[in-house]
Amino acid sequence: MAFRGGFASSAAASLSKRKWDAVVVGGGHNGLTAAAYLARSGLSVAVLEKRHLVGGAAVTEEIVPGFRFSRCSYLQSLLRPSVIQELELGRHGLKLLRRNPSSFTPCLDGRYLLLGPDGDLNHSEIAKFSKKDAMTYPRYEKQLQKFCEFMDFLLDSSTPEIRHDVPSLLGQLKAKLHSSAFWSRCLHRVVNLGQKDTLDFMDLLLSPASKVLNNWFETEVLKATLATDAVIGSMASVHTPGSGYVLLHHVMGETDGDRGVWSYVEGGMGSVSLAISNAAREAGAHIVTDAEVAQIIINENTGAVTGVALVDGTEVHSSAVLSSATPYRTFVELVPPNVLPEDFICAIKNSDYSSGTTKINLAVDKLPQFQCCKPNPPQAGPQHIGTIHIGSESMEEIDLAYKDALTGVPSRRPLIEMTIPSVLDRTISPPGQHVINLFIQYTPYKLSEGSWKDANIRESFAKRCFSLIDEYAPGFCSSIVGYDMLTPPDLEKEFGLTGGNIFHGAMGLDSLFLLRPVKGWSDYRTPLKGLYLCGSGAHPGGGVMGAPGRNAASIVIQDMRS
């Protein structure tokens, strides 16, 4: 049940009549995941979401009448299998729609590249460009899969952080045993990986994606197609050191047990959040929308968190507060000033929240017809099923788009990932019409000239994107019924994504694992007793994973029991 208008005030007021074991700030998918696990452990939990619906960036909204958009996140793969199974999300309505093929890259010279889970298709498609690369590609996939299996353990575990709040000898011993067990398991996995693969893994983590892909392949369009996974959602180039890890981050997910397979979700990405919220409510969690948190309440005498205050003045008291907001929003905007250690707040403020991402959601009256494929309207072809890569025929094209943004100029030839979920999901658009998602880079948060608030600038950039698609699919512009555009400042204002960064902070090597959100505080605990971070700004990072929420809940339960 969702609360709106006056119902929201009365619902929030009712929460203030008791003390809760835990209050979760933000009803994004991670906040909901944390709430579900906390409630399943027997704790009393309240979730407070400022918008009129839950889901955070994983939401479905009807912006153009009759068309339901996955307004921010638009594909599923990273949601942890443990979360899907343990919360029984299938029983709660989650239905995944597998994509095959999963990728289509049209070329202006009339050629194209299709890729997917079908090995024979991949071989024949890549062989059109290079027989050598067609032979090499299975080995590349196999190596990435091996590295992903190594990463599974890290994703589903809390970090072995040095504890700041363990006064007893017994507590210190338990913390050391936990840390020793973690590192022992890591060492065991490294030994199993072997020296060669371990070195290759380190090379992938530390190198630019361009170096990694150049070492594997010779075909430009293949390298560019794969390189988009290394930069999507980040303000980085294919030549940025460490971008190889982001490439891995985008292939480490799975659909129904098949590694690296991305899927649409029936009903849009809001169905993921809805399924998790159903699991949380069934376990006893109370979820209230239109309830924006203004401040986290701190006991002046003990320095411990005692609850939250809403913008309407309502106070909700609890033993623990979990924030699924960004680290900046949590520690700089919600925590009262002069409460946190100076070095901690300095590190939070100096974290990288830069974004180069704009999302455009389109309603169209027909499918785009790519001139490199035989026209077959109105039926969908294999080119319409997966992610369509526009403006990325070479890695240098991607780098040029990035360099534009460094000067404060939206990319003159932007990198566009186009998806058409309505090809597989008939629930989100009228018959014969379609929903199209455009995930676009690079668009700087601050423009060197003008502002994203200027309607002319916004319309000019949107038309630039549509015209680029027209080069590959003539007539695309004329099919547009309506659209919704979210620039980095829009993503920040509407969804609380600091800087417009979809990952709650950059996914560079200096902000991962023991360094996320900042050094010394990676285990979801914070310098304030009773305050925890459970969003994408915590380990293991961004994407619709559920791992930060699940891992944070386990830490809270552990602390409550001790």
**Statement: residue 162 has pLDDT above 60:** yes
383 and 484 both lie in a single domain = yes
Q: Taking the CA of residue 259 as centre, how many other CA atoms within 13 Å lie in the half-sphere pointing to its CB? A: 16
**Statement: residue 254 has pLDDT above 80:** no
Look at the block and give the residue holding tokens 């386990």. 554
Task: Please state, in angstroms and rounded to a whole number, the distance separating the CA atoms of residues 25 and 7.
Answer: 19
Q: How many CB atoms lie within 10 A of CB 147?
A: 19
| 75 within 8 A of 417, measured Cβ to Cβ | no
144 and 66 both lie in a single domain = no
163 and 245 both lie in a single domain = yes
From 114, 119, 112, select the one nearest 101 (Cα to Cα): 114
408 and 321 both lie in a single domain = no
For residue 245, name the pLDDT band (cuts at 50, 70, 90): confident
For residue 492, name the pLDDT band (cuts at 50, 70, 90): very high
174 and 246 both lie in a single domain = yes
51 and 151 both lie in a single domain = no
Q: How many CB atoms lie within 10 A of CB 166?
A: 15
249 and 162 both lie in a single domain = yes
Collapsed DSSP state (helix, strand, coil) of residue 425: coil
- Rounding to the nearest 10 degrees, give the CA dihedral for residues 393, 399, 400, 402: 120
- Whether 279 is covered by a domain: the verdict is yes
Q: What is the pLDDT of residues 417-446, one digit of tens each?
A: 999 999 999 999 999 999 999 999 999 999
- Whether 224 is covered by a domain: the verdict is yes
Please provide the average confidence, as pLDDT, over all residues in the chain: 93
Q: What is the pLDDT of residues 316-367, one digit of tens each?
A: 999 999 999 999 999 999 999 999 999 999 999 999 999 999 999 999 999 9
- Whether 428 is covered by a domain: the verdict is yes
Confidence (pLDDT) at 9: 55
Name the residue range of residue 292's domain.
6-95+266-351+505-561
| 54 within 8 A of 277, measured Cβ to Cβ | yes
Confidence (pLDDT) at 250: 62
Last residue of a domain, one of 465, 495, 525: 495
From 320, 80, 122, select the one nearest 217 (Cα to Cα): 122
For residue 3, name the pLDDT band (cuts at 50, 70, 90): very low
**66 secondary structure, DSSP code:** T
- Whether 516 is covered by a domain: the verdict is yes
- CATH number, domain of 299, equals 3.50.50.60
Q: Cα angle vertex 450, ends 444, 455, to 5°?
A: 95
Least confident of 177-181, 255-259, 285-289: 255-259
- Whether 423 is covered by a domain: the verdict is yes
362 and 490 both lie in a single domain = yes
State the total domains in the chain. 3
Task: Please state, in angstroms and rounded to a whole number, the distance separating the CA atoms of residues 354 and 503.
Answer: 10
229 and 158 both lie in a single domain = yes
Q: Which two tokens stand for residue 243?
A: 């971008």
Last residue of a domain, one of 207, 227, 260: 260
Q: How many CB atoms lie within 10 A of CB 107?
A: 15
276 and 240 both lie in a single domain = no
Confidence (pLDDT) at 1: 33
Mean pLDDT of 72-79: 93
- Rounding to the nearest 10 degrees, give the CA dihedral for residues 550, 552, 553, 554: 90
Collapsed DSSP state (helix, strand, coil) of residue 388: strand
- Whether 208 is covered by a domain: the verdict is yes
Q: What is the pLDDT of residues 184-211, one digit of tens each?
A: 988 988 888 899 999 999 998 899 999 9
**Statement: residue 5 has pLDDT above 70:** no
Task: Please state, in angstroms and rounded to a whole number, the distance separating the CA atoms of residues 307 and 160.
Answer: 27
- Whether 121 is covered by a domain: the verdict is no
Q: Tell me how long the chain is.
A: 562
Task: Please state, in angstroms and rounded to a whole number, the distance separating the CA atoms of residues 540 and 176.
Answer: 21
Q: Where would I find the beta strands (DSSP E) of 30-91?
A: 45-48, 60-64, 67-70
Last residue of a domain, one of 230, 260, 290: 260
| 247 within 8 A of 227, measured Cβ to Cβ | yes
**Statement: residue 315 has pLDDT above 50:** yes
- Whether 143 is covered by a domain: the verdict is yes
Exposed/middle/buried for residue 28 (C-beta within 10 Å: 0-12, 13-18, 19+): buried
Confidence (pLDDT) at 167: 66
Q: What is the pLDDT of residues 520-553, one digit of tens each?
A: 999 999 999 999 999 999 999 999 999 999 999 9
Task: Please state, in angstroms and rounded to a whole number, the distance separating the CA atoms of residues 192 and 361.
Answer: 45
Higher pLDDT, 148 or 124: 124
- The span from the first CA to the last CA of the chain, in angstroms, equals 34
Report helix angle 220-231 to 395-406, nearest 10: 40
Collapsed DSSP state (helix, strand, coil) of residue 460: helix
Q: Which two tokens stand for residue 499?
A: 């800087």
Q: Where are the alpha helices (DSSP H) in 473-506?
A: 488-495
Mean pLDDT of 150-175: 81
178 and 236 both lie in a single domain = yes
474 and 389 both lie in a single domain = yes
Task: Please state, in angstroms and rounded to a whole number, the distance separating the CA atoms of residues 471 and 107.
Answer: 10
Backbone angles phi, psi at 363, to 5 degrees: -105, 125
